[in-house]
Structure 1
Amino acid sequence: MVVQLSLRLQQYSSLLLNPSAGFRTRQSKLIVHLTKMGENQVFGFSIDELPQGGSKCFDDDGRLKRTGTVWTASAHIITAVIGSGVLSLAWATAQLGWIAGPAVMFLFSFVTYYTSTLLSACYRSGDSVNGKRNYTYMEAVRSNLGGFKVKICGWVQYLNLFGVAIGYTIASAISMIGGKNPCHMNSNPYMIAFGIVEIIFSQIPDFDQLWWLSIVAAVMSFTYSTIGLGLGIAQVAANGKIKGSFTGITVGTVTQAQKMWGSFQALGAIAFAYSYSLTLIEIQDTLKAPPVESKTMKKATLLSVGVTTLFYMLCGCMGYAAFGDLSPGNLLTGFGFYNPFWLLDIGNAAIVIHLVGAYQVYCQPLFAFIEKSAAERFPNSEFITKDIKIPVPGFRPYNLNLFRLVWRTLFVILTTLISMLLPFFNDIVGLLGALGFWPLTVYFPVEMYISQKKIPKWSKRWLCLQILSMACLIITIAAAAGSIAGIILDLKSYKPFSTSY
């Protein structure tokens, strides 16, 4: 009997642990009841299967009950949206002026909100109540579109993550230099220092799963954003007037071509500030049901995008009101005044702390993809698959993987070198915003929604969605062109590895 019981337990445990066994696809749970048969006898057991709807402790997919609400989702979205992109909004507003600047910010906020509601409808495939859950953006694309579009989405995502790593390196170096000295300084030592820190942190396993990172990131991003806003208000009060014009930087201060490319580049900078679509599905996966997750997510998106837009309007407009056409590309490192030093130092320190962690969180999916692909292609390679256990006094042993050590180190070195070659904060931010806005924020959500709702081709709704997508594609092309033109223009006067920008 002991042998029979052991075999049966092994069979059922293998079913529970093996996704291919079929229980997960049926969205059910097994409960094992153990009953003591006697003083010296084994335990008897029986097995019950819960209904598809889940239980008090588990959701319909067998995972622990989700407890997220409108308020928690809004907090996650605000944390994801507000970041280093806020620092370039005053400069972007200066390129566009008092009319177009706020109007473009409002336009991006509306498009972001609308496409986010489309994306939230794709969290479940098929039935919005009992359909299969998609836990990530990529899973949603695979479920709704499939085929070659999944690969395109993956390459766009990973290219965007690679670019973000470069942008964060540049932003951190600028903040480490600070705003005390208006002269051009060599930023290379700061980028190298940032790279060394990232090489060390990149070897921490499951860095993106450290729960306190989100709290630190939220506190730091609000800290430097609020400091930038406060200093802008203080400067307006000191000036005794509001600077700027309806059309932005005037031709004469810059050439006609610089005015045009700067305006296009500003579109990319604003787009970058609103980018969070990649994390929307993961945030939605934290929501409890009922009500249907998509309804809760729409409310959370409206609330969070509204709060973010108000904050962005204040930061961008106050920075422009304070400095007019001379608005700095980075609000905390290009001020026309340098007091109080301690407050600027706090703001720049907050940026560095935020970006050190954010660099790792953003790069983890790329790290995981490369390492998983390598392991699948070379399963017998000890260099790729073997972990070397290194004892750490007082802690559990550290698993050193040679492939992870070499590949992640080379990745950080590459992003650092590119940052040293192209240390142009506004140009890189504009280019990143352009690369990520149309494909990730507009195109894939629109296409997935059309597929999900089976919207007939050439119907009125289909045409409206396609017009929106094409209009945003034109904006993306213009923003990318402006940023590339800015990089080319800056390279004419920049000497690599000798001065900072």
Structure 2
Amino acid sequence: MDTKEVDESRVMRRTELQLHDSVSTRTGTLWTAVAHIITGVIGAGVLSLAWAMSELGWIAGPAALIAFAGVTLLSAVLLSDCYRYPDPETGSLRLNSYSQAVNLYLGKKNQMVCGFFVYITLFGCGIAYTIVTATCIRAIMRSNCYHREGHSATCSYGDNNNYFMLLFGLLQIFMSQIPNFHNMLWLSIVAAIMSFAYSSIGLGLAFDKIIEKRQIEGSVKGSPAENRGAKVWLVFQALGNIAFSYPFSTILLEIQDRTH
């Protein structure tokens, strides 16, 4: 494909995007944008960071945390510059999504490839949230049982999360039928409050352990494992948990597009 054909293809994509952009309604404010960013950065994944730090140790743990944060920050900066076209600050054309940005700048084929990986990421996040939710429901029920019956009680709810995952799935089906659910202002506020609650719970539990044992535990190499293979598996699992805690850049353009 020569330069003329590339330019014509880009002009056609710009025309399609302008037609779509002309009917886009932006009702978001700075506060709703901040709320969605907080929700994207501080999700339920932060609850597993303490365990990830204990497995990686005092050196690799913070280094991995900073590295993933840096990748997320770099991705956010690059994507924010792609929101307006042709100039990142004064461009008249706004891109509504990550997929549109890839289509305009890199072409249709790259849009399909990048879109595939984005959907794989979203699919993985959905599975992770379902498993985490089921585990949390079982943990809450066990905690309530201990408070009600005493710590000597059995309070066994089994190791199978299938019923809790099905319950969560049914709830998601019901919630997805609410019209304009994503445009509700209170949803952004509640999500931001819950995100702060996640991090507060993690910090509270950590301080509780420190006060209880009167010392800061941990090691440079992380928690010991049965053998080297198990340790490698736990390290990769910890890195996955840290990566799962930064699912922000994939929704950045959508947040920008809903803001005045």
Q: TM-score range by the shorter chain?
A: 0.7 to 0.9
Q: Which residue of 2 aligns with 1:267?
A: 239
5 Å matches for 1:33-112?
68-69=29-30, 73-112=33-72
Higher relative contact order (CA 8 A, sep 6+): 2
The CA deviation string for residues 131-169 of structure 1, in whole angstroms up to 9 with x for no partner, is 411011111111111121111222222222222222222
The alignment yields a C-alpha RMSD, in angstroms, of: 2.8
What is the total number of aligned residue pairs between the two structures? 231
Task: Select the structure of larger CA radius of gyration.
Answer: 1
Matches of 1:68 and 1:199 in 2, distance apart? 29
Q: Which residue of 1 aligns with 2:220?
A: 246
Matches of 2:157 and 2:137 in 1, distance apart? 15
Q: Which residue of 2 aligns with 1:124?
A: 84
Compute the displacement of 1:215 (Å): 1.9
Q: Which residue of 2 aligns with 1:138?
A: 99
Q: Which residue of 2 aligns with 1:177?
A: 138
**Which amino acid letter does the alignment assign opposite residue 172 of structure 1?**
T
Query: Is 1:163 the equivalent of 2:124?
Result: yes
Matches of 1:25 and 1:107 in 2, distance apart? 37
Q: Would the aligned equivalents of 2:48 and 2:241 in 1 still touch at CA under 8 Å?
A: yes
Which of the numbers 129, 147, 162 marks the counterpart of 1:188? Answer: 162
Matches of 2:172 and 2:32 in 1, distance apart? 30
5 Å matches for 1:368-447?
none
The CA deviation string for residues 314-336 of structure 1, in whole angstroms up to 9 with x for no partner, is xxxxxxxxxxxxxxxxxxxxxxx
Compute the displacement of 1:183 (Å): 7.4
Distance 1:208 1:63, change over 3 A: closer
Distance 1:65 1:245, change over 3 A: closer
Q: Would the aligned equivalents of 1:94 and 1:249 in 2 still touch at CA under 8 Å?
A: yes
In structure 2, list runs of 5 or more residues that go unmatched. Answer: 1-14, 144-154
Which of the numbers 248, 257, 260 marks the counterpart of 1:285? Answer: 257
**Which amino acid letter does the alignment assign opposite residue 114 of structure 2?**
C
Compute the displacement of 1:276 (Å): 1.0
Name the SS of the counterpart of 1:127 in structure 2: coil
Which of the numbers 119, 130, 153 marks the counterpart of 2:114? Answer: 153
Matches of 1:191 and 1:61 in 2, distance apart? 41
Q: Which residue of 2 aligns with 1:414?
A: none
Compute the displacement of 1:226 (Å): 0.9
Compute the displacement of 1:66 (Å): 7.0
Compute the displacement of 1:192 (Å): 2.3
In structure 1, list runs of 5 or more residues that go unmatched. Answer: 1-21, 27-59, 289-501
Paired-residue identity, %: 45
Compute the displacement of 1:287 (Å): 4.7
5 Å matches for 1:320-399?
none
Query: Is 1:208 the equivalent of 2:182?
Result: yes
**Which amino acid letter does the alignment assign opposite residue 185 of structure 1?**
D
Compute the displacement of 1:191 (Å): 2.0
Matches of 2:24 and 2:182 in 1, distance apart? 20
Q: Would the aligned equivalents of 1:120 and 1:280 in 2 still touch at CA under 8 Å?
A: yes
Matches of 1:80 and 1:87 in 2, distance apart? 14
Matches of 1:182 and 1:63 in 2, distance apart? 51
**Which amino acid letter does the alignment assign opposite residue 85 of structure 1?**
G
Compute the displacement of 1:201 (Å): 2.6
Q: Would the aligned equivalents of 1:125 and 1:133 in 2 still touch at CA under 8 Å?
A: yes
Matches of 1:207 and 1:268 in 2, distance apart? 30
The CA deviation string for residues 4-35 of structure 1, in whole angstroms up to 9 with x for no partner, is xxxxxxxxxxxxxxxxxx9x959xxxxxxxxx
Distance 1:241 1:184, change over 3 A: farther
Q: Which has the higher helix share?
A: 2
Compute the displacement of 1:273 (Å): 0.3
